[in-house]
Amino acid sequence: MDIHTIRQQLKTRPVYDVPLRVTFYARVSSESDEQLNSLGNQIGYYEELIQKNKAWTFVPGYIDAD
């Protein structure tokens, strides 16, 4: 589906009902245990959110743990 079709659909339908390829970007800025747990929580939350939506196709995300 091209971007113009998607934009038209988003005018009349919620984003959750539009067939999209969806990914996430998760980031932490330190390597402390607390931050790394936060990263795991971010990843888990967004993977679950995307995968439970039947209209969306999950695309693995980008993880930035610098």
Give the residue numbers spanning the domain of 27.
Answer: 3-65
Q: Evaluate whether 20 touches 50 at the Cβ level (below 8 Å).
A: no
Q: Evaluate whether 21 touches 57 at the Cβ level (below 8 Å).
A: yes
Q: What is the pLDDT of residue 65?
A: 73
Number of domains in the chain: 1
Q: What is the pLDDT of residue 49?
A: 96
Q: Evaluate whether 22 touches 56 at the Cβ level (below 8 Å).
A: yes
Low-confidence ranges of the chain (pLDDT < 70): 31, 33, 35-36, 66
Distance CA 13, CA 10 (A): 5
DSSP 35-60: HHHHHHHHHHHHHHHHHT-TTEEE--
Q: What is the pLDDT of residue 6?
A: 95
